[in-house]
Structure 1
Amino acid sequence: MKKTALLHRLVTVAGLATALLPISVLAASGDLYEADPGSDMILKFTPAGTQSPFVSGLSGPFGLAFDSSGNLFEADLGSGTIFEFTPDGTQSAFASGLNGPIGLAFDSSGNLYEADQFSGTIFKFTPDGIKSTFASGLNGPVGLALDGSGNLFEADYNSGTIFKFTPPGIKSTFASGLNGPVGLAFDSSGNLFEADQGSGTIFKFTPGGIKSTFASGLNGPTGLAFDSSGNLFEADQGSGTIFIFTPAGIKSTFVSGLSAPSGLAFEGAVLSTPTVHLANISTRALVQTGNNVLIGGFVISDSSPKQVLVRAIGPSLPSVIPNLMQDPMVSLHDSTTMEIASNDNWQSDPNASQIPMQLQPHDPRESAILTTLQPGAYTAIVSGKGGTTGVALVEVYDMDTAAASELINISTRGLIQTGDFVMIGGFVPDGTSNIEVLVRAIGPSFAAAGIPNPLPDPTVRVFDANGTSIGFNDNWQDSQGPEILATGKEPTNNLESAILLNLAPGSGYTAIVSDKNGASGVGLVEVFKLQ
């Protein structure tokens, strides 16, 4: 079905009238900038709605995006140019010779992505202006938006599709069957909002792709942008209006009487590193001796120190669990395997009094280490005092999630059996935005490392805090193979398992690892935070 574009100027792709332009930005504060192709101007609005011209004399301005220095970039459709404007309005050409530049978005590294509508291409520009092709063969690329994990989402107008591209450029379909998708914008919870121009609707998609109607009855919705309070601003091209929607969907008029409002961007609105961390990892398993002790690994990123709390829990676990370890010990090792700390009974640790009350073990025989570590890889080994065995829990807590450094990879290796003796890994994302993680279950590849009795065919199932299963995998290549491969963290054995998940912060998740056929062996559960 032919789609009707509501812009002041029209361009066609493959014979279809293609509506021009969304711009997507994350929450920001400050003045709102609007690309108005009807008047060839960029207009500026204060939070109170006071209007003033920012620049005039353009040729079909549509896409807008701010870099981290406060410079405004504009996709000038008519001239095939991306212009850069300093905060005082000084204009220069950033890139020229393009074929229908229309959508713009910056990633957290300062690279600019441009939807080149007539060539069906997304180009990537480094901060120095070096151009490369990120994706091609598209059908009317218009709107662009990046999520907190660096995945690029593209509104493909003519195909009625939203495509998702991983940072290396692996393409998948996020949503289809739309009617002229144009503007894209993410809220702080990772939900994607889409201006569906052909249907006059704004749709909302959860991180998992579940679609709902946020607003309807609009007249050519085009550009979208969130302010710092979570209000959604919408450029309604057909009515010449910018509407505001509260998070609850209550609509009001911000400004009216415009010529053809299209791209929107808030001053200072750039994609920043998401404020979300892996705050806690814990794994429960049957702890034996030798190669079958419980081994927890974690990696601290960035360049600043991080305070962590490492605990070994046994006797205070629920009594319904059989064969609890009665006296667990924990030792902490750096990447050279050197032991840097150890503890038997937590109250004997020099820093015991500094452990927050709610994190102090409930039994004096349990162990804890509170320490500050430099960035790098570390291993916590839990064993039973005097060679005893039993079910125990190893835990690592991030005690300073506000620090620049963070826990980016957490894993635990141990003996996996059946029933109460499967491996149960728990982790808690903490922050204000969603987190994308890769959960892996490893076993067969341990044979090449000389570890005896590897788990032959591990499976992994992930549950949310309500006990609802949100993901299962047996062999990692079965369902998300290309996406997992693109992370560079794919398992080395086809029988091993992995799941990519986009998760909300603030509650715990559980990953259970067991063998597909009920076998026993040494396995590993692992959680990566993807950048």
Structure 2
Amino acid sequence: MKSGVTNLFVTVIGLAAALVPVNSFAALGDLYEADFFSHTIFKFTRAGTKSTFASGQSLSEELAFDRFGNLFEADGGSGTIFKFTPAGTKTTFASGLSGPFGLAFDAAGNLFVADASSGTIFKFTPAGIKSTFASGLSSPDGLAFDSSGNLFEADFSSGTIFKFTPAGSKSTFASGVGNPVGLAFEPATGIVADISTRASVQTGNQVLIAGFILTGTDPKQVIVRALGPTLTSFGVANALQNPVLELHNSTSVIATNDDWQSAANANQIPTSPVDYRPPDSRESAILITLQPGAYTAIMSGKNSTTGNALVEVYDLATSTFSQLTNVSTRGFVGPGNNVMIGGFISSGGNGSVQVIVRALGPTLTQFGVSGALADPTLSLIDGNGNVVASNDNWKNTQQTAIQNSGLAPPNDLESAILATLTNGNYTAVVSGKNGGTGVALVEVYKK
């Protein structure tokens, strides 16, 4: 399935379905359940451990999370939309509704509410300002947005699924479907996240340079790390002893760090459920919230020192409407264990993602890079150490498919692999043919 292509699934059940508990997932993977009879919202961890998140509700109908992790509940008995912070603090977001059922957030953070008794879909801005999005409906229930911002509504009494454009234009998507109540889109393909590259850090134009693009609409918090001394404990020889890190946007340096504990926000680096603090005090880290755009992390050795090092970019806000895409790293490819190793994680979506991985060398010369790797070879390896695919000279394998992707390497000696991957950890290993050395670029594109 191509990225962004989704299928709509409809729950069709009888009138008694109004008594069925409604579920919603938090960004961390916990399951929240609105229990109709007990007037309680329960929380389940991924392991199935149950706890009470909120109690004393009237008639809980629907749940939905906003981009900041706040939980919204449609309370049909009181005609109220309640808002719960991640800590469980409850406030009234909206009141005076006739019978709220379906809830859905658009990409801008506006909340849409299907008010069944009044036959209306209301729109609430993040500040709580109310307007009528659609009226004259039979009995609106479930709501769901597609990736293009169109709103789909399950109209219970008429047995119809209506589609509304972002401007509010209404059309019939499906009819004669019984009594639809629930709508859900099959997830698009997964994302490429949490990138890392290990290479030999030299001086001049042979420092380690990691590039990434944030697409979408929301700011995203990331942490960029530069590790050196830690690699020694993993058997990596000649580790860089004191890495220095710079983060650039398209025009300038926006952050720097040498020794992560010296950063003003070092105490804000997350430690749970994953500890993102570098293990060694000489290593570097930048914790920052970025707007969508292109960024470059440059890693060098303090006082022009050299050695093997690892640069990493971690996505700390996977629930936002932005994602890491088109990741790349430029570095020096040496002999033996001094090859360049690019790592990435495929996650989310429907459990798979199609990528093109490229290894460029000769092309760098035209961009003023001296000492470019003359003939790069490429291997793609999964988290179990199995070789998924390998390539030397991209036209030797998958030539037609790679050309059709629009991402064919410019030089015939460069390498490329097109692969559909299940969610997991992967590494792309770039080496020089016949032991060749030089500066190369490894890239991962999500299709």
The bucket for the TM-score relative to the shorter chain is 0.5 to 0.7
Calculate the TM-score normalised by the size of structure 1.
Answer: 0.51
**Is 1:331 aligned to residue 234 of structure 2?**
no
Q: 1:483 aligns with which of 395, 401, 416?
A: 401
Pick closer, same or farther for the CA change 1:347–1:86 going to 2, 3 Å: same
| Match in the other structure for 1:493 | 411
**Unpaired runs of at least 5, structure 2:** 19-144, 172-176
Partner of 1:390: 307
Amino acid of the residue matched to residue 374 of structure 1?
A: Q
- Measure, in 1, the Cα distance between the counterparts of 2:161 and 2:437: 67
- Per the TM alignment, residue 88 of structure 1 is displaced from its structure 2 partner at its CA by 3.2
Give the AA of the match of 1:497. S
What letter is aligned with 1:356? P
Alignment correspondent of 2:257:
343
- Note if contact 1:71-1:86 (Cα within 8 Å) is conserved in structure 2: no
Distance 1:71 1:477 in 2: 48
Kept in 2, the 8 Å contact 1:25–1:270? The answer is no
The alignment status of 1:437 with 2:355, answered yes or no, reads yes
Q: Measure how far apart 1:285 and its partner are.
A: 0.4
- Return the offset for 1:526: 1.0
Select the structure that is richer in helix.
2
Pairs within 5 Å for 1:416-435 = 416-433=333-350, 434-435=352-353
1:88 corresponds in structure 2 to 158
Q: Which residue of 1 aligns with 2:318?
A: 401
Structure 1, unaligned stretches of length 5 or more?
Answer: 1-23, 33-43, 49-65, 73-84, 93-105, 111-126, 129-262
User: Which string of whole-angstrom CA distances, capped at 9 and with x for unpartnered residues, describes residues 408-447 of structure 1?
Assistant: 1111001101211000111112214211111111111011
Other structure's SS at 1:88 match: coil
Paired with 2:382 and 2:430, the residues of 1 have a C-alpha distance of 15
Shift of 1:518: 1.4
1:441-467: per-residue Cα shift (whole Å, max 9, x none)? 111101111211111111111111110
Deviation at 1:529, TM superposition (A): 1.6
Match of 2:366 in 1: 448
The amino acid of 1:451's aligned partner reads: V
Structure 2: distance between partners of 1:45 and 1:491? 58
Q: Of residues 204, 216, 220 in structure 2, which corresponds to 1:306? A: 220
Structure-2 separation of matches of 1:90 and 1:427: 43
Describe the shift of the 1:90–1:312 C-alpha distance in structure 2 as closer, same or farther (beyond 3 A): closer
CA drift at 1:491: 1.3
Q: In the TM superposition, what is the alpha-carbon distance from 1:91 to its structure 2 partner?
A: 12
Summarize the Cα distance change of 1:527–1:294 in structure 2 as closer, same or farther, 3 Å threshold.
Answer: same
Structure 1 window deviating more from structure 2 (480-489 vs 411-420): it is 480-489
Aligned pairs for 1:57-456 (under 5 A) are: 69-70=151-152, 88=158, 274=188, 276-319=190-233, 320-336=235-251, 338-357=252-271, 358-433=275-350, 434-456=352-374
Identify if the C-alpha distance between structure 1 residues 327 and 30 changes in structure 2 by more than 3 Å, giving closer, same or farther: same
How big is the shift at 1:25?
A: 8.0
Taking the aligned partners of 1:509 and 1:356, their CA distance within structure 2 comes to 24
Report the AA paired with residue 28 of structure 1.
F
Change (3 A) 1:482 1:273: farther
Return the alpha-carbon distance in structure 1 between the equivalents of residues 407 and 6 of structure 2: 29
Q: Is the 8 A contact 2:213 2:294 kept in 1?
A: yes
Confirm or deny that 1:28 pairs with 2:9. Answer: yes
Aligned length: 301
Letter matched to residue 360 of structure 1: R
Q: In structure 1, how many angstroms separate the alpha carbons of the residues matched to 2:322 and 2:249?
A: 17
TM-score (norm 2): 0.61
Query: % of aligned pairs identical?
Result: 48
User: Does the C-alpha gap of structure 1 residues 45 and 276 become closer, same or farther in structure 2, counting only changes over 3 Å?
Assistant: farther
The two structures, once aligned, show a CA RMSD in angstroms of 3.4
Question: Measured at CA, do residues 307 and 296 of structure 1 come closer, stay the same or move farther in structure 2, by a change above 3 Å?
Answer: same
Q: Give matches, 1:507-522, under 5 Å.
A: 507-522=424-439
